[in-house]
Structure 1
Amino acid sequence: MNRRRRKKLSHRLVSAASIGDTATVAALLRAGAPAETTDAEGTTPLYAAAVHGAADTVRLLLAAGASPDTESGHGAEGTPLCGAACWGHIEAVRELLAHGADPDLREDHGTGRTALDWAAVGFHTETAAVLLTGGANPDAE
């Protein structure tokens, strides 16, 4: 696939993932869009789906090979698990954990908050409980 086509597919994939359009995401993946990609802003499709709570799209992207721990953006975003936890998207958090997301991974290249920190800041107690059950360490440094 040429570079221009790949760039176009990646942009469309992130856009579809951000609105939870699972059918379009599936079609783009079949057309050759890589699950582990970014758009021009550095946003990954998995982060876009997770931060919007699109659990079905999260599941599809993970099954297609997206890494659950890839950080998104150029400093303004973070990990998919942190994005989902920040907004209390429990089902997206469950999918990410089930596919091996590190519950203690700090965003901002290891200097920021963990998903549990974000769940606590947002008063998402149920999300925090899912993270703890999924192995999050409340004392992670």
Structure 2
Amino acid sequence: MNRRKHKKLSGRLVDAALVGDLAGVRAALRAGAPAETADTAGSTPLYLASVSGAADIVRVLLAAGARADTESGIGSEGTPLCGAACWGHVEAVRVLLEHGADPNLREDHGTGWAPLDWAEQGAHRETADALVAAGARPRESGPRA
């Protein structure tokens, strides 16, 4: 695939994930869009779907080859699991965990918060419980403010 087509398909995939368009995500993937891609800001389709709680899109992207622990953004967004946990999207959290997302992986290249920190900060008890059941360990000093 040439660069222009790759860029166009990647853009279609990112846009579809951003707006929660499952049919658009599937169509972009069928057309050859790589599941592991990002827009110019570094946002991955998997991160965008996770933050919005679109578990169905998360599942499709993971099945198509998106990696569960790829950090999104250029140092300012985080991992899909952190994004889903931050907003209490427990179904997206469960899908990511089922596909091997590390429940203890801290964002910002290992220096930021872990998914459990985000879930607890947002008072998302069900999400925090799912993370702990998957092996998430709380910080000794708790989440930072």
Pairwise same-fold verdict (TM > 0.5): yes
Q: Please tell me the residue identity of whatever aligns with 2:75.
A: G
Secondary structure of the corresponding residue to residue 97 of structure 1: helix
1:52-91 correspondence runs (5 A): 52-91=52-91
Residue in structure 1 matched with residue 133 of structure 2 by the alignment: 133
Could you tell me whether the CA contact under 8 Å between 1:19 and 1:54 is conserved in 2? no
After TM superposition, the structure 1 stretch with the greater mean CA deviation from structure 2, 12-21 or 104-113, is 12-21
Percent of aligned positions that are identical: 70
1:1-141 correspondence runs (5 A): 1-139=1-139
After TM superposition, where is structure 1 displaced by more than 4 Å over at least 4 residues in a row? none
Instruction: Report the alpha carbon displacement of residue 127 of structure 1 after superposing the two structures with TM.
Output: 0.5
Instruction: Report the alpha carbon displacement of residue 130 of structure 1 after superposing the two structures with TM.
Output: 0.6
Could you tell me whether the CA contact under 8 Å between 1:104 and 1:140 is conserved in 2? no
Secondary structure of the corresponding residue to residue 77 of structure 2: coil
Runs of at least 5 residues in structure 2 that lack an aligned partner in the other structure: none
Give the Cα–Cα distance (whole angstroms) in 2 for the partners of residues 53 and 79 of structure 1: 14
Runs of at least 5 residues in structure 1 that lack an aligned partner in the other structure: none
Instruction: Report the alpha carbon displacement of residue 139 of structure 1 after superposing the two structures with TM.
Output: 3.9
Give the Cα–Cα distance (whole angstroms) in 1 for the partners of residues 115 and 140 of structure 2: 11
When normalised by structure 2's length, the TM-score is 0.94
When normalised by structure 1's length, the TM-score is 0.97
- The superposition leaves residues 80-103 of structure 1 with CA deviations (integer Å, 9 ceiling, x where unpaired) of 000000000000000000000000
Q: Please tell me the residue identity of whatever aligns with 1:130.
A: A
CA RMSD of aligned residues (A): 1.2
Instruction: Report the alpha carbon displacement of residue 55 of structure 1 after superposing the two structures with TM.
Output: 0.2
User: Paired residues, what number?
Assistant: 141
Instruction: Report the alpha carbon displacement of residue 134 of structure 1 after superposing the two structures with TM.
Output: 1.2
Q: Please tell me the residue identity of whatever aligns with 1:64.
A: A
Q: Please tell me the residue identity of whatever aligns with 1:17.
A: A
